[in-house]
Chains A and B, each alone.
Chain A
Amino acid sequence: MADDTDWKIMISFLDFEKPIAELEARIAELRATADGSDLDIESEIDKLAKKSAGMLETTYAKLSPWQKTQVARHPQRPHFVDYLRLIFTDFVALAGDRTYGEDAAIIGGLATLDGRKVMVIGHEKGHDTATRIKHNFGMAKPEGYRKAIRLMEMASKFGLPVVTLVDTAGAFPGVEAEERGQSEAIARSTEACLALGVPMVAVIVGEGGSGGAVAIAAANTVLMLEHSVYSVISPEGASSILWRTPDKAADAATAMKVTAQDLLGLKVIDGIVPEPIGGAHRDPTATARALADAVGRELDALGRLSGADLIRQREERFLAIGSL
């Protein structure tokens, strides 16, 4: 994998970043011709770089819900394996549901987060063709959720807090997933979250897609990265069902209120983890650090509650949603 400092250079731009991409291309062109002796070119590069940085900042300060959806799905956005590498140490991967198989769409295991021993579980989408296929694009099957249940129960047994990183378009829609009880697996995984006698913190790091996300996100504290999204159905899905056209995804994203900022307002989540200017993919290291600090703070606060209080707090948290 490329070093994080190279990342910036190879960044792939989103549609709405086109003016920034054009500026960056112009800067790269000038850099290629300049040898450092032409002060006019140097000052022009400097000027354009400042302009580009300014545009990036203003663009990201007012992303629309649909633009945020695209940022949340950016192929270079840090994924579970990146967080594992950047902020967790001594990871011991645990595999399999003991019933059917090992589903790499959900990764889990024992890990240490800034000195805290935890059980970490999350979706992994993969970053190139081979890994995307291996991880099934982050779309878990029943065995993935049943592995998550097994690991949560183990965490509860040994007093380890649970940290989940949510990043999925949704649970896998396939024949074999239905045959093996996708619905039951998701329902039981949600139930397992609610039964935990240890602290649980969930972070939506990219896409929080429907039941496949909530199955590992029924936590004491739910956080979202600044440009992540969380919704009951994809904007494309809502567009085709409610508007009966595939072209209204942007409207659907706005109407459904999918952003971290919207969800904090609705009290569905408890906090937002800030991303670097231009999104998590422009600085995975800084993103991961901010995430580790936020999760650590929440774990320490929850650590003061008894097991019974943790269960009660989690129950009250979800019972309150939609109650007058």
Chain B
Amino acid sequence: MSWLDKVRNSISSLAKRDTPDELWMKCASCGEMLFIKEFEANLSVCPKCEHHGRIGAKARFDLLLDTGYTVLPTPKVPENPLNFRDTKKYPDRLKAARATNPYPDALTNAYGAVNGAKAVLGVQDFKFMGGSMGMAVGEAFVAGVEKAIAENCAYVIVTAAGGARMQEGILSLMQMPKTTVATRRLAAAGLPYIVVLTDPTTGGVTASYAMLGDVQIAEPGALIGFAGQRVIQDTIREKLPDGFQRAEYLHAHGMVDMVVHRKDLKDTLATLLGYLARKEVA
């Protein structure tokens, strides 16, 4: 996007703010018309049906960390080593994603405290290319864990991803073992690793760091799974069970410890950190 386009867009969005379309939205789950400001004040949870909307990294940091946290820099990684293009060049897709997102890739870390308990918090943002895991996500995950080890504190990851970043081919797949090296090092340091699964968390992300937490938390209604529902349906050719791959379903099948409403998430994390945080050596 050119400089001029950016200015034009910002002007048009300012103008639109006053139109009814911009003040109201429809709940993605129950269809209720919601006043956007009220919806956001309610942590992007529908007041009528409790549907948990997707929120970005900045909103997560504000929600879960005490004021005064520091956003950590996103590590640089090789840009497009595959020279990938599908219907568009991969660098163009990256550029477009960066133009509409506050951080340079899908995973951003912040260092701060949860009700006073220090922690590094990583947040995956679904708005950035579907939260997909490429080298930048893998490298940021490793950097977040290293920061936690350096600060002798927990690493908390809030996951959201459609899966691996296909534009990085095999290099995205290799982030599965790479991130697992990091979770092993955190464990070796005796530090807590807590995973908060949000809507949606699927594919290679679920099949690596998103399922390796000491404690697994899921947000209500979040879609969590390995294989996509359409792929499964094509394979088995029968109707999927009710609530299949939703947070509550995973809880019932023993895959997560708890399903926690967004408003209770910070206090829950703080309680867990209170129990699990490394005891100071005298």
Interface residues of A (CB under 8 A from B): 171-175, 177-184, 186-188, 190-191, 193-195, 210-211, 214-215, 218, 230-233, 238, 241-244, 248, 251-252, 255-258, 263, 266, 268, 315, 318-319, 321-324
From the candidates A174, A187, A255, A319, name the one contacting B212 in the complex (CB within 8 A). A187
Beyond contacts A175-B236, A187-B209, A268-B174: 4 other A-B pairs, Cβ-Cβ < 8 A, are A190-B177, A256-B166, A257-B82, A268-B171
B181 within 8 A of A: yes
**Least Cβ distance of A129 to chain B in Å?**
17
Chain A neighbourhood of B184, CB < 8 A? 191, 194-195, 315
From the candidates A173, A177, A184, A238, name the one contacting B211 in the complex (CB within 8 A). A184
Chain B contacts with A in 55-81, Cβ cutoff 8 A:
75-78, 81
Chain B neighbourhood of A263, CB < 8 A? 170
Interface string of B204-238 (1 = CB under 8 A from A): 10111111100000000000111110011001100
Given contacts A211-B204, A263-B170, contact A187 B180 (CB under 8 A): yes
**Contact indicator A322/B169 (Cβ below 8 Å):** no
**Contact indicator A174/B135 (Cβ below 8 Å):** no
**Contact indicator B135/A322 (Cβ below 8 Å):** yes
State A324–B81 Cα separation when bound (angstroms): 11
**Contact indicator A230/B170 (Cβ below 8 Å):** yes
Interface string of B80-100 (1 = CB under 8 A from A): 011011110000000000000
B35 within 8 A of A: no
Given contacts A183-B210, A195-B184, A321-B171, contact A233 B166 (CB under 8 A): yes
Interface-centre pick from A243, A248, A251, A319 (highest chain B CB count, 10 A): A319
State A185–B87 Cα separation when bound (angstroms): 35
**Contact indicator A179/B204 (Cβ below 8 Å):** no
**Least Cβ distance of A8 to chain B in Å?**
33
Given contacts A173-B227, A255-B85, A256-B169, contact A188 B177 (CB under 8 A): no
Interface size on B, residues (CB 8 A): 60
Interface-centre pick from B170, B185, B224 (highest chain A CB count, 10 A): B170
Given contacts A181-B253, A183-B226, A211-B207, contact A232 B172 (CB under 8 A): yes
**Least Cβ distance of B234 to chain A in Å?**
8
**Least Cβ distance of B157 to chain A in Å?**
13
Minimum CB distance partner of B206 in chain A: A183
**Least Cβ distance of A229 to chain B in Å?**
10
Chain A neighbourhood of B232, CB < 8 A? 173-175, 178
**Contact indicator B173/A232 (Cβ below 8 Å):** yes
State A45–B226 Cα separation when bound (angstroms): 54
B175 within 8 A of A: yes
State A236–B251 Cα separation when bound (angstroms): 33
B28 within 8 A of A: no
30 contacts between A and B (CB under 8 A): A174-B232, A177-B226, A178-B245, A180-B253, A181-B211, A181-B255, A182-B207, A183-B255, A184-B211, A187-B176, A187-B180, A187-B206, A190-B177, A190-B180, A211-B176, A214-B174, A214-B176, A230-B170, A231-B170, A248-B86, A251-B86, A255-B82, A255-B169, A256-B82, A268-B170, A318-B177, A318-B178, A321-B138, A321-B171, A322-B134
State A171–B228 Cα separation when bound (angstroms): 12
Chain A neighbourhood of B211, CB < 8 A? 181, 183-184, 187-188
Interface residues of B (CB under 8 A from A): 75-78, 81-82, 84-87, 134-136, 138-139, 142, 164, 166-178, 180-181, 183-185, 203-204, 206-212, 224-228, 231-232, 235-236, 240-241, 244-245, 253-255
**Least Cβ distance of B250 to chain A in Å?**
9
**Contact indicator B164/A233 (Cβ below 8 Å):** yes
Chain A neighbourhood of B244, CB < 8 A? 175, 178
Chain A neighbourhood of B166, CB < 8 A? 232-233, 238, 241-242, 256
**Contact indicator B227/A182 (Cβ below 8 Å):** yes
A-B pairs with lowest CB-CB distance, top 8? A322-B135, A173-B227, A242-B86, A183-B206, A256-B169, A218-B177, A186-B207, A232-B173
**Contact indicator B178/A231 (Cβ below 8 Å):** no
**Least Cβ distance of B233 to chain A in Å?**
9
Chain B neighbourhood of A243, CB < 8 A? 86-87
**Least Cβ distance of A307 to chain B in Å?**
14
State A279–B1 Cα separation when bound (angstroms): 48
**Least Cβ distance of B135 to chain A in Å?**
3
Chain A neighbourhood of B177, CB < 8 A? 190, 193-194, 214, 218, 318
Chain A neighbourhood of B206, CB < 8 A? 183, 187
State A194–B225 Cα separation when bound (angstroms): 23
Chain B neighbourhood of A232, CB < 8 A? 164, 166, 168-170, 172-173, 204
**Least Cβ distance of A179 to chain B in Å?**
5
Given contacts A178-B232, A191-B184, contact A322 B178 (CB under 8 A): yes
State A268–B176 Cα separation when bound (angstroms): 13
